[in-house]
Chain A
């Protein structure tokens, strides 16, 4: 059974802080996705990773295939980064499994 676990479940940070959200998965994958979900339900895809590291603006995503672990980092956090961040893996059968999400609140 494929399980995707995220930590922490909830995170509160002061504006400007460096933030790390972790994701662990249990089976081999073809790709790992990081998604952002704002209040009201809209989901936006942030990254797709199969190896290494990707950077987009203040967001950085890394993955360690051997350890079955990925991290999402936010540098110089801002209140508009407040959202739920969801990790999802896609196994070799192209099935998606989602974590429960990390709820981030950035306080001005």
Chain B
């Protein structure tokens, strides 16, 4: 079974530039999560999708971050414009349902903002 795929794996941009990350969850998984993990900290949930609807985006900085999951499968997370403090690993995870005990994580995208 293929795991959660993310791209790119690494990205370096200058502040005020835009960047987009892509996630392809495990086939059939209805729930998709985006997390931000700053060095030395645990992951922080940015947004949770159930199919193509948003379940929780309370911690998403909506002035600069946006995410979509148009067909209920792949998802993109965008930052526009980026700030230095956005440097982090962005993790995508999926689960079969919101109440599923198991989350499967992708390898992450390491973003460096200079």
A residues adjacent to B (C-beta < 8 A): 4, 31, 33, 40-45, 48, 86, 88, 94-96, 98-101
Count A-B pairs with CB separation below 8 Å. 46
Specify which of A40, A96, A98 is in contact with B107 (CB 8 Å cutoff). Answer: A40
User: Using Cβ atoms and an 8 Å threshold, which residues of chain B touch A96?
Assistant: 33, 45, 103
User: Using Cβ atoms and an 8 Å threshold, which residues of chain B touch A4?
Assistant: 42
Asked whether B72 is an interface residue with its Cβ less than 8 Å from the other chain, the reply is no
| Cα-based distance from A66 to B99 in the complex (angstroms) | 23
| Cα-based distance from A42 to B107 in the complex (angstroms) | 5
| Count of interface residues, chain B, beta-carbon cutoff 8 Å | 23
Q: Are A95 and B45 in contact (CB under 8 A)?
A: yes
Known: A48-B101, A48-B102, A95-B56. A41 touches B45 (CB 8 A): no
Q: Are A94 and B110 in contact (CB under 8 A)?
A: no
Q: Smallest CB-CB separation from A86: which chain B residue?
A: B42
